[in-house]
Amino acid sequence: MFSSVTEFKASFLKKLEMTHGTSFAESTKREQFQTLGLMIREYVSTDWIKTNEQYRTNGQKQVYYLSIEFLLGRLLRHNLMNLGIEQVVSEGLNELGIELDDLEEIEADAGLGNGGLGRLAACFLDSLASLSLPGHGCGIRYKHGLFEQKIVDGYQVELPEQWLRHGHVWEVRKADDAVEIPFWGSVESYHENGRFVFRHLNAESVTAVPYDLPVIGYETETVNTLRLWSAEPSRFTANVDILKYKKETESISELLYPDDTHDEGKILRLKQQYLLVAASLQSIVRSYKKQKRSLLDFHNHVSIHINDTHPALAVPELMRILMDDEGLGWDEAWNITENTLSYTNHTTLSEALEKWPIRIFQPLLPRIFMIIEEINERFCQKLWDKYPGDWSRIENMAVIGHGEVRMAPLAIVGSHSINGVAKLHTDILKEREMNSFYQVFPERFNNKTNGITHRRWLLKANPRLANLVTESIGPAWISNPEKMEALLKFKHDSAFLEKLGDIKTANKQKLAEIILEKTGIAVDTASIFDVQVKRLHAYKRQLLNVLHIMYLYNRLKSDSDFNLYPRTFIFGAKASPGYYFAKKVIKLINTVAEKVNNDPAVNEKLKVVFLENYRVSLAEDIFPAADISEQISTASKEASGTGNMKFMMNGALTVGTLDGANVEITELVGEENIFLFGLSASEVLDFQRNGGYYSREYYHYDQRIRDVTEQLVNGFFPDTEDEFTAIYDSLLDHNDQYFVLRDFASYVDIQERIGDEYRAKDAWLDKSLINIAKSGFFSSDRTIREYADEIWKIAPGHKK
């Protein structure tokens, strides 16, 4: 069906008529998109079935990646590219008068994630399949992904996201593989044949129905599976108010990250977590048992990964299955559980550490709670033996404490591997945040520096650059991205650098058109495109970026000798709906944009753009067009960052703190090829531990800081009254928790250097080239190989 343009066209037209009952002339773009999607699914189905059969029969060890988020984005172009049929399809469609680009735009982003953690999971799936590794994703099929962001009057407004409105062409509903999940009720225990047996009575049952998506690897016959669970009413629940029950049940997979400030939201989130874990584990054990192997061997054939603590209930749930359903004893079950599970930590921020009040947990999941109590008792006993009398240490480390179930201790105690996501982050876990656990289980802790799939973030997002790389060093880098280092031979090669510069300009042109269309703002492609795109959070310090822009504005207005190299500051960021401070920063960015963009005295040199609804598909147009990548978190707070890697791979230079994976970027490119500034992680941690930072001192001694902070509250922005008082207070009354004012001067200096260096075009492009050449390390293929070899112990199946 894809072997020649002629054949493709014939199949396409036939399929279109058969599935939509319409002629080509009458068909809509959506029908054409759906048709193409179905054709691709059909085309991969043989390999998909074959892959599954192989996994069922050859006893190869499998890994299941449990994640509450998968931020996939669009799949059409990505699948075409991985299958190697993009050219045929594009030409065939062209001959029919259709642009592939237009069909691509029809597809809704699958936005089942908040940010870094969910996108990482999606990159990992691509690498697993592309390396022909037996690895599958398990997640939730939320009816609504991350909210759609509108900016109204400078404020963020959230709209429900509707990715399933027209169906999802890639998914296959597998109703026969549905699983029953019990909530509430009580547990009865009794003696039977000399052992204790537990029975869950009067539970409210929910049916988890899987929807499978094929995960198509690059140039391989391996087609893995992402299994997303949807909650539906069960036939096994009787005597309830049907409508209420239906609504409650369906609400479990209705929304990504429901607001959990109230008990109702907490219950819903806990139900989501248990549904994901219980449905996935039951289905994993079910398919393992079909292989007729002993359960005592389970961990030699199955590895289960817990992505952050959201799926940490895998620890007690696997224990429950092994003991209650399969009849193993505690010690046998515990040995299998520990050896099967591994866990990744993605943040050290204490406010993000998950804890569930017992008053909510115990009634909702009575049997699981009993098992956690037992895990806790045994663990505390072990601690008592090691640290007799050290109550406070044991209290701090316990899995249950102060009326709460603590998910991180649960994940640590039940896993054989615990990893951080960049060197610095892992060091902070070992030396500080999880030090007490590190002392007990030193062999469990390890680092796996994050990565990104170069197939989506370079090959697909930036075809111009990808082609230049292939033309220059051949195609081997595509399957082995670290080979991009061969590009270093083009250093100082002005013909090559000119091509590199032209590509950046073309990408900037494309982004400029998007900006014009979406915001009405005309930006100059000769200006420096300085970009910060990521979730809005105080620790990521978008505020530092805006305050610097305000300073530039003031300087342009007051100092006629100030020769600023023209800059376009571009932002994209969603704030959590209940996060007051973050929303104020969005309003501030838009307020500053309004002022700057409309002031003819500066707007030749300075522009500020806020792109609404930042998401994967928009990101694909942004990274290739950036000159400067803003990675300016308070050192020690950003576990890794992955946007930093996407920018680097697309030739942007980083301005950043030595935080997260910026540390590895610096090691790779050398300090001359990155713009570092600000406090180090150990300086920040020392200030936090011992005090000694007084933000008001910086306010008093630095006129520039005084000016910009006062402008937040003194009417400088018309009609804003006390709009920005909370920001002002955070900096001065609350002693600037994230060291914005402390790092301000150093940030201004480094930004000035950036402006100066950009003028020397070839030297700049050399730096850009070095960044691209060294970025292969950050391919998620490298990361996944490390997980596969060192944690999961899985090996590839056969490639094409």
What are the angstrom distances between the C-alpha of 247 and each of 206, 332, 361, 476, 519?
12, 40, 21, 53, 39
Which of 136, 269, 537, 540 is the catalytic position? 540
| Rg of the chain over all Cα atoms, to the nearest angstrom | 27
Which of 121/333 has CB closer to ligand 26V?
A: 121
Q: Shortest distance, CB of residue 639 to ligand 26V, whole angstroms? A: 4
Q: Shortest distance, CB of residue 738 to ligand 26V, whole angstroms? A: 12
Q: Shortest distance, CB of residue 347 to ligand 26V, whole angstroms? A: 4
Q: Binding ligand 26V by CB under 6 A: which of 117, 318, 575, 740?
A: 117
Q: Shortest distance, CB of residue 282 to ligand 26V, whole angstroms? A: 27
Q: Binding ligand 26V by CB under 6 A: which of 641, 656, 678, 776?
A: 641
DSSP annotation of 652 reads P
Whether residue 540 lies in the annotated active site: yes
Which of 642/650 has CB closer to ligand 26V?
A: 642
Whether residue 402 lies in the annotated active site: no
Which of 115/210 has CB closer to ligand 26V?
A: 115
Which of 109/171 has CB closer to ligand 26V?
A: 109
Q: Shortest distance, CB of residue 420 to ligand 26V, whole angstroms? A: 9
Q: Is 638 in the site for ligand 26V (CB under 6 A)?
A: yes
Label residues 658-682 b or e (16+ Cβ within 10 Å = b).
Answer: bbbbbbbbbebbeeebbbbbbbebe
Q: Shortest distance, CB of residue 648 to ligand 26V, whole angstroms? A: 14
Contacts of 690 (CB under 8 A, 6+ apart): none
Q: Shortest distance, CB of residue 668 to ligand 26V, whole angstroms? A: 17
Q: How far apart are CA 364 and CA 356, in angstroms?
A: 11
Contacts of 390 (CB under 8 A, 6+ apart): 383
Window 439-468: contact mask with ligand 26V (x via CB under 6 A):
-----------x------------------
Name the segment binding ligand 26V (CB under 6 A); options: 315-323, 345-353, 381-389, 646-654: 345-353
Q: How far apart are CA 257 and CA 268, in angstroms?
A: 9
Q: How far apart are CA 425 and CA 638, in angstroms?
A: 8
Q: Which of 591, 550, 549, 798 lies closest to 51 in space, CA to CA?
A: 798
Which of 141/346 has CB closer to ligand 26V?
A: 346
Work out whether the CA dihedral 401, 402, 404, 406 comes out positive or negative: negative
Which of 20, 535, 548, 767 is the catalytic position? 535
Q: Shortest distance, CB of residue 753 to ligand 26V, whole angstroms? A: 26
Which of 534, 537, 607, 782 is the catalytic position? 534
Whether residue 51 lies in the annotated active site: no
Q: Shortest distance, CB of residue 635 to ligand 26V, whole angstroms? A: 13
Q: Binding ligand 26V by CB under 6 A: which of 37, 73, 92, 116?
A: 116
Q: How much of the chain is in helix, strand and coil states, percent to nearest 5?
A: 55, 15, 30
Residue by residue, DSSP assigns 478-503 as HH-GGGGGGGGGGTT-HHHHHHHHHH
Q: Shortest distance, CB of residue 719 to ligand 26V, whole angstroms? A: 31
Whether residue 261 lies in the annotated active site: no
Name the segment binding ligand 26V (CB under 6 A); options: 206-214, 341-349, 402-410, 620-628: 341-349
Residues 46-65 that bind ligand 26V (CB under 6 A): none
Which of 264/471 has CB closer to ligand 26V?
A: 264
Q: Binding ligand 26V by CB under 6 A: which of 71, 639, 754, 765?
A: 639
Q: Binding ligand 26V by CB under 6 A: which of 660, 678, 776, 797?
A: 660
Which of 456, 646, 742, 767 is the catalytic position? 646
Whether residue 499 lies in the annotated active site: no
HEC secondary structure over 244-289? HHHHHHHHCCCECCCCCCCHHHHHHHHHHHHHHHHHHHHHHHHHHH
Q: Binding ligand 26V by CB under 6 A: which of 351, 385, 719, 722?
A: 351
The structure tokens listed for 717 are 């922005």
By Cβ distance, which residue is nearest to ligand 26V? Answer: 116
CB atoms within 10 A of CB 603: 18
What are the angstrom distances between the C-alpha of 230 and each of 110, 252, 738?
15, 8, 40
Which of 9, 74, 271, 346 is the catalytic position? 346
Q: How far apart are CA 149 and CA 275, in angstroms?
A: 28
Whether residue 534 lies in the annotated active site: yes
Residues 234-263 that bind ligand 26V (CB under 6 A): none
Window 289-308: contact mask with ligand 26V (x via CB under 6 A):
-------------------x
Q: Shortest distance, CB of residue 388 to ligand 26V, whole angstroms? A: 36
Q: Shortest distance, CB of residue 346 to ligand 26V, whole angstroms? A: 4
Q: Is 349 in the site for ligand 26V (CB under 6 A)?
A: yes
Q: Which of 68, 232, 212, 66 lies closest to 140 in space, CA to CA?
A: 68
Q: Binding ligand 26V by CB under 6 A: which of 346, 406, 454, 607?
A: 346
What's CA 203's distance to the chain center, in Å? 35
Which of 153/351 has CB closer to ligand 26V?
A: 351
Window 308-327: contact mask with ligand 26V (x via CB under 6 A):
x-------------------
Label residues 321-338 b or e (16+ Cβ within 10 Å = b).
Answer: bbbbeeebeeeebbebbb
Which of 224/347 has CB closer to ligand 26V?
A: 347
Main-chain phi, psi angles of 138, to 5 degrees: -130, 125
Which of 642, 654, 657, 783 is the catalytic position? 642
Name the segment binding ligand 26V (CB under 6 A); options: 94-102, 259-267, 343-351, 542-550: 343-351
Residues 405-424 that bind ligand 26V (CB under 6 A): 421
Residues linked to residue 106 through DSSP beta bridges, in sequence order: none
Q: Binding ligand 26V by CB under 6 A: which of 640, 711, 771, 783?
A: 640
622 neighbors 430 (Cβ within 8 angstroms)? no
Q: How far apart are CA 47 and CA 21, in angstroms?
A: 28
Q: How far apart are CA 762 and CA 764, in angstroms?
A: 5
651 neighbors 772 (Cβ within 8 angstroms)? yes
Q: Shortest distance, CB of residue 71 to ligand 26V, whole angstroms? A: 10
Q: How far apart are CA 254 and CA 271, in angstroms?
A: 12
Name the segment binding ligand 26V (CB under 6 A); options: 50-58, 136-144, 240-248, 640-648: 640-648
Contacts of 789 (CB under 8 A, 6+ apart): none
Name the segment binding ligand 26V (CB under 6 A); options: 113-121, 153-161, 456-464, 513-521: 113-121
Q: How far apart are CA 452 and CA 440, in angstroms?
A: 33
Count the site residues for ligand 26V by CB under 6 A.
18
Contacts of 261 (CB under 8 A, 6+ apart): 578
State the residues that interact with ligand 26V by CB under 6 A: 115-117, 120, 308, 346-347, 349, 351-352, 421, 450, 638-642, 660
Active site amino acids: 346, 534-535, 540, 642, 646
